[in-house]
Amino acid sequence: MSQKSLVDEMHQVQLAIELIELGARLQVLETETELSRTRLIKLYKEVRGMSPPKGMLPFSTDWFITWLPNVHSSLFYNIYLSLKEAAGCNRIDAFVKAYRLYDEQMSLEKMEPVLGLTRAWTLIRFFESDLLQLNQCTRCTGQFVTHAHSPAQHYVCGICQPPSRAGKTRKAQRENSEKM
């Protein structure tokens, strides 16, 4: 094995480990690395101490458009674009760094991340497949995730115009009643 191929393989293993630690599913690992499925399963078991979860990846753009997921998805995707375009990171490095920054921001705010790594990866793939786009809010001028080819001229984001039930989850109601 040549020095270059050994370095490439080490980089692939390191990337796989990093993605596993962040919560990547096997399908994500298979797509983003050049390692065999068998090798990825062994790595997953070493890192997580269990077999990778089974099942299909989410495949609906609608989830990213609903109120709270949209706010989180828009935050993540804007971080990703900044790293990719302004900082000059390649796609996968921008993705990993953006997810780490998103997760760190949620920790600082003492919030549970709404966007898991697999959903974040799926979001990127939906943009690459031209299923989603960013639209600018006409009120706050922020860039938000919307369905591709949706009208942009009168778009108002979910922060400027939240739905009537926004934030009224059972958990939020319990926490409010406990404070009283």
Could you tell me if residue 95 is inside a domain? Answer: yes
Same domain as 164, residue 75 = yes
- pLDDT at residue 145 above 50? yes
- pLDDT at residue 6 above 80? no
For position 82, what pLDDT does the model report? 96
Same domain as 28, residue 103 = no
Could you tell me if residue 89 is inside a domain? Answer: yes
Same domain as 44, residue 89 = no
Structurally, the chain folds into a number of domains equal to 2
Same domain as 31, residue 91 = no
Could you tell me if residue 129 is inside a domain? Answer: yes
Same domain as 102, residue 67 = yes
- Measured between alpha carbons, how far is 173 from 167 in angstroms, rounded to an integer? 9
Q: Which residues are annotated as a binding site for Zn(2+)?
A: 137, 140, 157, 160
Q: Provide mean pLDDT across the span 152-158.
A: 90
Could you tell me if residue 125 is inside a domain? Answer: yes
Same domain as 151, residue 124 = yes
Percent of the chain with pLDDT over 70: 90
Same domain as 165, residue 95 = yes
| Range in 75-79, 113-117, 132-136, 162-166 the model is least confident about | 162-166
For position 168, what pLDDT does the model report? 62
Q: Provide mean pLDDT across the span 136-163.
A: 93
Q: Which residues are annotated as a binding site?
A: 137, 140, 157, 160
**Where on the phi/psi map is residue 149: left (φ > 0), alpha (ψ -120 to 50), or beta?**
left
Could you tell me if residue 1 is inside a domain? Answer: no
CATH number, domain containing residue 95: 1.10.10
Same domain as 107, residue 72 = yes
Same domain as 126, residue 44 = no
What pLDDT, in 10s, does the model give residues 18-69? 999 999 999 999 999 999 999 999 999 999 999 998 887 777 899 999 999 9
Q: Provide mean pLDDT across the span 107-136.
A: 95
Confidence of residue 180 (pLDDT cuts 50, 70, 90): very low
Could you tell me if residue 94 is inside a domain? Answer: yes
Q: Which domain holds residue 96?
A: 62-174
Same domain as 116, residue 84 = yes
Tell whether pTM > 0.95.
Answer: no
Could you tell me if residue 56 is inside a domain? Answer: no
Same domain as 102, residue 76 = yes
- Measured between alpha carbons, how far is 111 from 158 in angstroms, rounded to an integer? 18
Same domain as 125, residue 101 = yes
For position 57, what pLDDT does the model report? 77
**Which residues are CB-contacts of 122 (< 8 A; sequence separation ≥ 6)?**
57, 58, 59
Q: Provide mean pLDDT across the span 106-135.
A: 95
CA distance to 100, 113, 132, 163, per residue, from 166 (Å): 26, 17, 23, 5
Could you tell me if residue 120 is inside a domain? Answer: yes
